[in-house]
Amino acid sequence: MKTSITALLLLLLMACSDSSDNSAPPAPEPPAPPPEPTYELSAEIKRTEYGIPHVTAEDWKSLGYGFGYAYSQDNYCVTMKEMVYASGRSAELLGEAQGNTGSDFLFRYLNGDDAEFEERFVNQLPQFSRDLAEGFARGMNRYREETGDANLAEGDYGCRDAQWLFDVTAINLFKHMRREALRGSSDNGTFRNALLSVEGPAEDGATGSLNEAQLSDLADSAAAAVSELQNLGRGSNALAVGSESTQNGGAVLLGNPHQPWFGAGAWYQAHLTLPGEYDVAGAALHGFPFIGIGFNKDVAWTHTVSLANRFSLYELKLNPENPLEYLYEGEMRDITPVEIVIDVLLADGTLEQQSFTFYESHFGPIANLKGVSSFLDGWPMFNGSVLAFRDANILTGIRGIEQWINKGKASDLQGYIDALASIGNPVFHEIAADRNGEVFYGELSAIPYITQAQLDTCVNGIIGPLLADATTNVIISLDGSTSECEWGDDPEAPEGSNLYGASQLPQLRTRDYVGNSNNSYWLSNAQQPIEGFPTIMGPVGYEGQQQFLRTRIGHLMVEERKLASDGLSDTPLFDLETIKGLMYANRVYGAEVTLDDVLKFCGASENEELSIVCGVLARWDRRVDVDSQGAQVFTELWKGFGSKLGGGFQGVIANDTFWRINYDPSDPLNTPAGIDLEVASNQTLLTEVLLKAEADLTSKGVALDAPWSEVQYLQRNNDNVPIHGGSGTMGVYGAISARLSEGGYVNPGSGNSYIQAVTWDESECPIADVILVPSQSTDPASPHFSDQTKLYADKRWVRFPFCEEDIAASQIGETVLLQE
């Protein structure tokens, strides 16, 4: 009965519950969580020892954003200053005294305004390239916004509170990259000056002819002027050793670019990762949003500066009745004036507009080479002509970003070679290796499509042959009156570029080794010469010609390592440690081939004034290690040889009277050698250069037998950091470029810069030992202002962490998540 009553009560309650005003309200719905914030840009930045940033992002713009920010933390002011010049605004922003109006005129002419530049160049690039650059620019701007102008870096490369700062755009970045690509052509000092020396047609227009003495003077002037084009301060060494020449049957690569240490063209280490698409470590040029020399999981690569032709001149035969017309295919064509106007900041703070007029032919702008020789001045010149300038790299610097990204994506050597087909490389030999044990050399860079047949027929008249002979084919002037001398059209090359396509350029793929030290392609492997190409592809150290001493010692060290005769290891062939030992050997090959004869001369000489300097050379160890004593004497001795006997642009002593064993094309690594002491002029020469070496060093306060550490050093805050290595022209593989000044070779400006030695084992992680000689940061207050410089002084290396666990093990500081 109780159960029935209870059930009845429950039913009554349930029946009333739907309509009862006294029922409890339903529980409120929990509030919706706030929406997750969305970010247009998001990048993760980790730093490992010595300040190396590792940037990871999920899209290209964010990757550039993180890299631009991390780079700016170390070197913001460096790239900002370069962008001032690349944008053609240096006189406007820095003032007439500090800026460069000539450079501004040139780059306003080449680039147009921002809208024109974007339309003509940037919009032709794939979207990922533009995204990467846009992100990098935004990262730089964010760094400035957060830091404030009052807190930016000080020092030689600082810009604290500078009035010339501005917000960076991707356009600025692309102009900066383009300017770097043109340093070997339009922006090279000789030809920049030539383009800016044009004054238009002369009223008198006097013409005539040159006598033999004047022609000889013109030739001498051209030979002297062309040396600026060489600029081996931007040289390099590269060596890639394949499975046939390594101890473990893999490959190992050594990259040793001799770039500037500071400012434009200097290196910055980084690791950039876009998961599943791009994962590359190494070094980027300042202000470039991608890795230039580096490695990924499977491939490593490096470059050396190539001295192949990057331009040509055209001789235009002017209309005697109208000097703004020239003969082409039997008809007259117009030369068109183009006026460029820039703003210039005067000393009183006001802006003044200044103008310059360029003159254009269909080949390119008119150039006046009066800076080379007064005989090449005038409109017209003595022979009734003017010269036009055509640049092979007008578009290459813009294409470069795409090529370098695609190289970084390669999973094997073939993929790397395929990436080179776009010819986005302005001036470099390509050297690469992969984990499968293959290695590659290629002169796959921007070279105008001028055939050897054209060189044989189109270099005619008076000026063309004279310039070609005087500069050993480095400056080529072609006949501008006929289409037969136009650059050709290779369907494999980028459309409209008139460059050689990849398959027609010198290259070698092997499992032995390849190497280059700025000579031509000819001896990329000493046992497998590359031959049969036109001189335009390698006029310096061309096929059969004498080679740089650095080229010779590089190949000889390879052969010695194969035989284990170099003292680096008792085991023949290469591994990571022996290739690093080769890099730091610091042998002076010029001493190896001449010093015995110098000392023989010293021993026979009755000139007591030579006793001290000869004694120092006798005790010297023939190296440029930090504890070497006397290297400075041989450095100045070799400089004396060069000034008296130098081989011009070829960079060698090509003098058969000097050498005891003359150059033999069949033995290019061992000849020439020795000094012919039977020749009286050589004895006189030795006396002069030895005494001058002693006098020059003494006048600068340098003891003849001081250790190299006290003679060659880099000043970093209060420290003088010793710098081993020495002049590349005297055969030092690890070249350092420094001039003798008060106290020694103080503050070298270029040479060994970013060095990498890369190999692989059975793991997924590449093994890379690296060093950035000038260190990561140009900020004197940074802990990374000189830390790697001091490692280099001790011949130490940094193991570059690539895989996640290695990055975690060497991380310094907190992970930064950069978003907006």
pLDDT tens-digit profile of 207-242? 778 999 999 999 888 888 776 665 544 579 999 999
pLDDT tens digits, one per residue of 80-89: 999 999 999 9
Q: Rounded to two decimals, what is the model's pTM?
A: 0.94
pLDDT tens digits, one per residue of 749-764: 999 999 999 999 999 9
Q: How far is CA 171 from CA 121, 140, 177, 395, 531, in A?
A: 10, 14, 10, 15, 41
With both helix axes pointing from N to C terminus, report the angle between 589-604 and 549-563 in degrees, rounded to the nearest 10. 100
pLDDT tens digits, one per residue of 253-269: 999 999 999 998 999 99
Quick one: average pLDDT of 595-610?
97
590 pLDDT more than 80: yes
Q: What is the pairing mode between strands 767-772 and 754-759?
A: antiparallel
270 pLDDT more than 90: yes
Q: What is the pairing mode between strands 322-328 and 754-759?
A: unpaired
Quick one: average pLDDT of 568-587?
98
Q: How far apart are CA 265 and CA 75, in angstroms?
A: 13
* Per-residue burial over 250-287, b = 16 or more CB atoms within 10 Å of its CB, e = otherwise: bbbbbbbbbbbbbbbbbbbbbbbbbeeebbbbbbbbbb
Helix (H, G, I), strand (E, B) or coil at 515: strand
H-run or E-run covering 468: helix 463-470
Q: What is the pLDDT of residue 402?
A: 95
659 pLDDT more than 50: yes
Confidence of residue 428 (pLDDT cuts 50, 70, 90): very high
Q: What's at 596, amino acid-wise? A: D
Verify cis geometry, omega within 30 degrees of 0, for the bond prior to 260. Answer: no
Q: How far apart are CA 420 and CA 427, in angstroms?
A: 13
Torsion of CA 517, 523, 524, 526, to 10 degrees: -110
Q: What is the pLDDT of residue 327?
A: 98
Beta partners for residue 707, in sequence order: 629
224 burial type by CB count under 10 A (0-12 exposed, 13-18 middle, 19+ buried)? middle
Confidence of residue 363 (pLDDT cuts 50, 70, 90): very high
Q: How far apart are CA 419 and CA 411, in angstroms?
A: 11
Q: Taking Cα atoms as reference points, which of 346, 334, 368 lies closest to residue 192?
A: 368
Q: What is the pLDDT of residue 658?
A: 97
Quick one: average pLDDT of 660-686?
98
Confidence of residue 8 (pLDDT cuts 50, 70, 90): very low
Q: How far apart are CA 496 and CA 498, in angstroms?
A: 6
Q: How far apart are CA 40 and CA 625, in angstroms?
A: 52
Quick one: average pLDDT of 627-651?
90
5 pLDDT more than 60: no
Beta partners for residue 356, in sequence order: 340
Q: How far is CA 145 from CA 139, 149, 163, 547, in A?
A: 10, 8, 15, 52
| Cα angle: 318, vertex 319, 320; to 5 degrees | 105
Helices H / strands E in the chain, number of each: 22, 31
Beta partners for residue 587, in sequence order: 623
Mean of pLDDT over the chain:
94
State the sign of the Cα–Cα–Cα–Cα dihedral 474, 443, 365, 490: positive
User: Among residues of the chain, what percentage have pLDDT more than 70?
Assistant: 95
Active-site positions?
Answer: 236
Torsion of CA 447, 452, 457, 458, to 10 degrees: 0
Residue 490 backbone dihedrals phi, psi, to 5 degrees: -95, 115
Q: What is the pLDDT of residue 23?
A: 56
* Per-residue burial over 435-449, b = 16 or more CB atoms within 10 Å of its CB, e = otherwise: bbbbbbbbbbbbbbb
Q: What is the pairing mode between strands 311-319 and 477-479?
A: parallel
Taking the alpha carbons at both ends of the chain, their separation in whole angstroms is 74
Q: What is the pLDDT of residue 651?
A: 81
Q: What is the pLDDT of residue 21?
A: 47
* Per-residue burial over 384-413, b = 16 or more CB atoms within 10 Å of its CB, e = otherwise: bbbbbbbbbbbbbbbbbbbbbbbbbbbeeb
Q: What is the pLDDT of residue 30?
A: 77
Q: What is the pLDDT of residue 234?
A: 56
Q: Taking Cα atoms as reference points, which of 42, 71, 64, 73 lies closest to residue 136?
A: 64
Residue 784 backbone dihedrals phi, psi, to 5 degrees: -110, 30
Confidence of residue 399 (pLDDT cuts 50, 70, 90): confident
pLDDT tens digits, one per residue of 710-735: 999 999 999 999 999 999 999 999 99
416 pLDDT more than 50: yes
Q: What is the DSSP letter of 32?
A: P
14 pLDDT more than 70: no
673 pLDDT more than 80: yes
Q: How far is CA 251 from CA 256, 279, 573, 612, in A?
A: 17, 20, 11, 48
Helix (H, G, I), strand (E, B) or coil at 543: coil
pLDDT tens digits, one per residue of 318-360: 999 999 999 999 999 999 999 999 999 999 999 999 999 999 9
CB 14 within 8 A of CB 777: no
Contacts of 643 (CB under 8 A, 6+ apart): none
CB 403 within 8 A of CB 444: no
CB 596 within 8 A of CB 622: no
Q: How far apart are CA 476 and CA 424, in angstroms?
A: 23
Q: How far apart are CA 744 and CA 709, in angstroms?
A: 10
